[in-house]
């Protein structure tokens, strides 16, 4: 699924690159803190996730403000975040790392899926995780957190800059998730990073084949001038049709 923020070519390259490789390309540009450490995919089977960030920020709840009645109002930012998340975007939630209450449940995931969202990420946890797995929307969390949201979390801002699992996330930064975890690409660098990551992925496929064939990692990994030349020759002879 493409969208206005990322071009189709870039999207395709990111879909073919692992989060670990993308993080390496960001490191070469000086970004060390881009990986959401400690978050896991809800299901091993969920598809890869790529999309611009749409954010939701929680603060701690308070007994007189976070009542069930208030939660039901149409002004509630938690549900508004679900309804307003644009097609192809990833809803990224700053839950302050809290596992005391859920960042979202199956109804919200179902709705995001129906609206064409690309995924959902929290540095806290979800409730109804067995049902969310069935929904099929890519979802990342620290650990399940089934208690009702109002017990500990109050939604305070939609689509502002946030921290998620210790990583800065600005709206429309590109979020990529695979079965290992989630990485954040500052939006202005996405084309450059996607191209570099895709190239590195091709080289790694080549290098892995040679290592499988019994060669030492010295001279192949990390790449050397010589290995890159050999790779170029190999690539000419092994173009994917």
Taking CB under 8 A as the criterion, which residues in 34-93 touch a second copy? 34-35, 37-38, 40, 59-65, 68, 71-72, 74, 79, 82-83
Site for a second copy in 133-152 (CB under 8 A): 143-148, 151
CB 100 within 8 A of CB 145: yes
Name which of 4 and 205 has its Cβ closer to a second copy: 205
Q: How far apart are the first and last CA of the chain?
A: 23
Which of positions 171-190 make contact with a second copy (CB under 8 A)? Answer: 178-181, 183, 186
List all residues 6 or more positions away from 47 whose beta carbon is below 8 Å from its beta carbon. Answer: 136, 138
Q: Compare residues 8 and 163 and give the one whose CB is closer to a second copy.
A: 163
Please, which residue, 69 or 240, has the CB nearer to a second copy? 69
Pair 52, 5: CB distance under 8 Å: yes
Q: For residue 86, what is the DSSP state?
A: P
Q: One symbol per residue from 86 to 125: x for binding a second copy (CB under 8 A), - otherwise; what is it?
A: ----------x--xx-x--xxxx-xx--x-----------
Q: Which is nearer to a second copy, 13 or 113 (CB)?
A: 113
Q: Are 8 and 15 in contact (CB under 8 A)?
A: no
Q: For residue 86, how many other CB atoms are within 10 A of its CB?
A: 18
């Amino acid at each position: 699924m493409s969208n206005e923020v990322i071009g189709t070519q870039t999207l395709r390259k990111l879909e073919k690159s692992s989060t670990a490789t993308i993080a390496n390309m960001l490191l070469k540009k000086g970004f060390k803190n881009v990986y959401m450490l400690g978050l896991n995919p809800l299901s091993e089977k969920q598809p890869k996730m790529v999309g611009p960030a749409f954010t939701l920020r929680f603060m701690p709840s308070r007994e007189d403000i976070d009542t069930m009645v208030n939660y039901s109002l149409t002004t509630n930012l938690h549900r508004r975040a679900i309804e307003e998340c644009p097609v192809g975007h990833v809803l990224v939630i700053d839950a302050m790392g809290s596992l005391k209450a859920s960042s979202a449940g199956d109804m919200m995931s179902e709705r995001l899926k129906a609206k064409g969202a690309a995924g959902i990420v929290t540095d806290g946890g979800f409730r109804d995780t067995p049902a969310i797995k069935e929904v099929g929307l890519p979802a990342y969390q620290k650990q399940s957190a089934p208690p009702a949201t109002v017990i500990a979390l109050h939604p305070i801002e939609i689509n502002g800059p946030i921290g998620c699992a210790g990583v800065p996330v600005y709206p429309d930064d590109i979020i990529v998730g695979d079965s290992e975890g989630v990485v954040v690409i500052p939006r202005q660098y996405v084309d450059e990073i996607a191209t570099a990551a895709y190239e590195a992925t091709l080289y790694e496929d080549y290098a892995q084949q040679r290592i499988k064939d019994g060669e030492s990692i010295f001279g192949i990994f990390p790449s050397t001038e010589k290995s890159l030349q050999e790779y170029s020759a190999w690539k000419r002879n092994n173009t994917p049709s």
